[in-house]
Amino acid sequence: PSGAPSFDNNGLGGLDVWVPVWPATNSFEDGYCSNLKEYVIGTPEAQIYASEFDCCQENFPDQTSGVCISNLPQDLQPSGAPSFDNNGLGGLDVWVPVWTSKYNEGYCSNKKEHVYNSWGDPFDDAFECCNVWFGSQNEDQVCLSKIPDFIQPSAQPSLVELGLPGQFVAVFTNGYEDGY
């Protein structure tokens, strides 16, 4: 192999597949993904990825140097700003706890910077995350207050079937006979 990229990637250079590369230092922190022939040829199929992002996420997920992710094109790089993967409403589809110096100031976030650097399993919704990790916060309820308005829990019951709440209670007026 020449080491020069081929022109299979829509004429832009490089192959249409990506593989992890560990430099001569053999350091995880210096690792990155490449689509150059010299790296791709001879790589086992299980270590070949369809995108550079997938390759980085699979092989260098805890890389604190950010070398692999920093090689992504600018429009694919994670940022502190939320993405629009959550049904177009901003943020990712998962929520993780964000710890501050005080428990009562902790909150849950779906920003990429928090999700990618989080430990433990993420939650499917912000309310569940707040309830599990910050359910005993003082009366300020910082975690719940940071949930975007469009998904804030309310005191109103959910309306189901014919516009009525899904739970019913017995109502007694003037004794058992007049109840409904």
pLDDT tens readout for residues 116-169: 777 777 888 888 899 899 989 887 888 888 887 655 555 555 555 444 555 555
In degrees rounded to 5, what are phi and psi of residue 95?
-125, 140
Radius of gyration of the chain (CA): 25
Token pair of 55 as six digits: 């390759």
Measured in whole angstroms, the distance separating CA 42 from the mean position of its chain's CA atoms is 33
Contact 95, 106 (CB under 8 A): no
Q: How many CB atoms lie within 10 A of CB 133?
A: 21
Q: Is the pTM of this model over 0.75?
A: no
pLDDT band of 115, cuts 50, 70, 90: confident
Amino acid at 96: V
User: For residue 138, what pLDDT is reported?
Assistant: 85
How many whole angstroms separate alpha carbon 69 and alpha carbon 48?
17
Q: What tens digit of pLDDT does each residue of 77-109 get?
A: 665 444 444 444 455 678 889 888 889 989 988
Of 143, 147, 80, the residue nearest 114 (C-alpha): 80
Q: Are 76 and 84 in contact (CB under 8 A)?
A: no
Rounded to whole angstroms, how far apart are CA atoms 45 and 7? 21
